[in-house]
Amino acid sequence: MEKTSKGVLGGIVATAVMTALTLMKNAMGVMPQLDVIQMLSTMMGVSIVMAWVVHFGIGAMWGVLFALAYNVIPGGSSLVKGMLFGAGAWLLMMVMVMPMAGAGFFGMKMGLMAPMMTLVLHLVFGAVMGFVYGSSSRVVNRNG
């Protein structure tokens, strides 16, 4: 499997896991104002369905960027590299996306929990993406 394909797979699986955690957070009533899909819908002026498509497209894009940057990301394992990449993606979200969404730098208009919760979600995203990317590399190497 080509490295960008492995990256797309990792990004989509990681987005699915992060989304499942986000849906559980919402179901528990934790920080309902932190709704990425609604933020995307509002920022882009698109329907909720289209925001979901964009959300997974962004995850796939992060996967491609991860695959392309893989050899320059520090860390000894794909899992660690993924977590470092996830932390970088989180930082970009905090200084670019959150202010554009009206939540302020680091989402501080939503309170201190916003940057902490999103950091954990992005670390999980990165760990899953790195794991899937690394696992698909091992499968490819064994099979040809």
**What is the four-CA torsion angle of 24, 25, 27, 33, rounded to 10 degrees?**
-140
Is residue 140's pLDDT more than 80? no
pTM check: above 0.85: yes
- Token couple for 113: 């929990």
Is residue 138's pLDDT more than 70? no
Domain boundaries, the chain: 3-143
**Residues written for the chain:** 144
pLDDT number for residue 60: 98
DSSP per position, 69-121? HGGGS-SSSHHHHHHHHHHHHHHHIIIIIHHHTTS-GGGGGG-THHHHHHHHH
